[in-house]
Structure 1
Amino acid sequence: MEYLSRTPQTMSGLPDFRFHPMCKKLQLTHLIFVDDLMILCKGNVASVSILVEALAHFNVATGLEANLNKLSIFLAGVDEDTIRKILTRTGFSVGIFPIKNFLWGSSADNSKIALSPWEKIFQGGLNIKGSSYWNIASVGQLIWQIIENKESLWVQWVHGIYIKDDASIWTHKAPLYCMWYWKEINAFKVQMQGWYIQDKYKLTQSDIYFITKSYLAIIGHKLQIRNVGLIWPSLALPKHRFMVWLVVQGRLLTQERKLKLIIQVDNTDCCLCNEKAMETNVHLFHKCKWTSIVWKEMIQWTGTTLQNAGIIKSLDSIRRKHWKKAKKEIMEAIGGAILYHTWCARTWKKFKGKQIHTNEVVQLIKKEITERVNLLYSSKEHRIVGSLFNI
């Protein structure tokens, strides 16, 4: 790879070779990424031909031959006739940069209702960052490198092509005709000026740029979902935790929510009880007789006095109790299991016409909780739990 990278540099001294317009000042002919080589030149037949000859020279000198199946050529701002001549001369295929668009809750062919709005994702204990904010914070590192005048090839290139005689990146204005990413960097820099005092990064004591620090500065102190720690107890099964998280936000597609989203609903009644009550988040997980029976059975099993006051109030009540940590974790896990199996029973009844009896659910929850305790708790913790519950 080292010998191959030197070959284009040597060939660039030939009179017919022309540098890529954005690489002329630095006389840049190639970039290496791990074991990949990117060779750069002006998009004309003469320059490309010289690079093809350089590859042929490398073949003769080393006995190694480039694999045409792995070679691609990327062309921009070149007329169709020249493109045809270049492809004929090289035998390369035209490359396409691997860029895809990912949209929250939809694709190119269809759309769907998102389970949770994106701004809630990085506020709700999932440890997922907002990609757009993280991207801005990452771009900030490039600005820091420019300010610090780090001796990297890219910083030298930026100073040679764009900044030139400007005293500072803050006073620099992006030229009308420049690379799109340079315009984006200059657009982002406005919200980053507050991170610097006399061109020194102030978010860390060392003046060294940290993307995480900048990210937190961008999002500020976002309001966290209440009782987020109780929503994600380690003892609970992952699917149960996720269900609690959705219920707390009111994001399940109940009949009430369907009406709010202007989705046609034939029958709004709760299908688990015969109360002729609308299926709402509050009814299904708090007031429904089916759910109340399951909750009562689980309370009797644990020997606690915790009442079903709705998931948010119940979590608050658990948090305020002067219980041992293990007891709180088990009650949180039981609450999540009840929500999950209530929703499953509702789905089976509504879409498959199968009635799930409360006894089945109670026995299943007891089995799940017992297995999780045996799996995750040490012998000492297990003894403590045994003294608290009949597990």
Structure 2
Amino acid sequence: MEALHHFSAVTGLSANSDKSSIYMAGVDDETKTKLLESTCFRAGSFPMKYLGLPLSPKKWTKLDCHQLSMKVTEKIRSVASRHLSYAGKLQVVNSILFSLHNFWGAVFILPQIVLKDVDEKCQDYLWGSSENAKKVSLVAWEKVCKPKKHGGLNIRSCRKWNMASVGKLVWLLVTDNEALWVKWVHGIYMKSDVDFWSHTPPSDCSWYWKNLNKIKLGMQQWFSQRRYMLTKDGNYSVTMSYLTLLANTDEMEDHTHLFVDCAWSKAVWRDIEQWLGVQVPQVEANMMLQFIHKKRWCRMKKEIIAAAHGARIYFI
């Protein structure tokens, strides 16, 4: 309470005991009683709401996520949504319904049954199914969720997007050691483990930490299956297309080979030079920009060549 009293003395604000609750875990009844008497707060119960999201220390169940399912159903049942064309319904799925799921999925590892239920609701809405009339889906949902250039409608699958969103936490654990919650994780679960990739979760850890490590194992399989890999300079690169450039060798890809030494990359740059009618040395990106900056060309020519160089990197 000392911190609250100090805050009140400095700011002139005080906590409203009628609107404040204290949440306790891992303490006995006697300690709970003392804390409630000293703070004059009421004991809170889980799940609690924070920024519109329910928080709970226990494993999520379908009942806990009932609110998400109900919000999606309410949006689908609205009069404005029911009388739209396929194109209009597609926009509703990609914007409104996806934003509802993403608000939850970016924070929680949601149960698979909930993710499947949300996907089914979006699928039924897109093809015109309702509680009273069931319509056959014209295209499989897996194909619909593919990018447009691969024949899909660019809809994000709830299951895969939830894994990708929570995967950001794995990335932060590996790269951002200054984040407060990363320091907390290292202090509680990874006391002796420096490398998160080789860490084995203890048997008495929370269900969320266990599931986060399961996602880590799934990400490791991406690399073992050679779908993605690390370059020599520590950056990620998609390797399926690079294997052809490397003549199917086991050599690790790097930026110098990809954008400077690779024969296919050189052929792409020669075609660009021929199209622009100029000759520019094939060097790394930062050296290329320095070369363009030093040349006594007009501003428009410099911008065109710089844009062409950027397009080449994006194409490769």
Same fold (TM over 0.5): no
Q: Structure 1 length as normaliser, TM-score?
A: 0.32
Relative contact order higher in (CA < 8 Å, ≥ 6 apart): 1
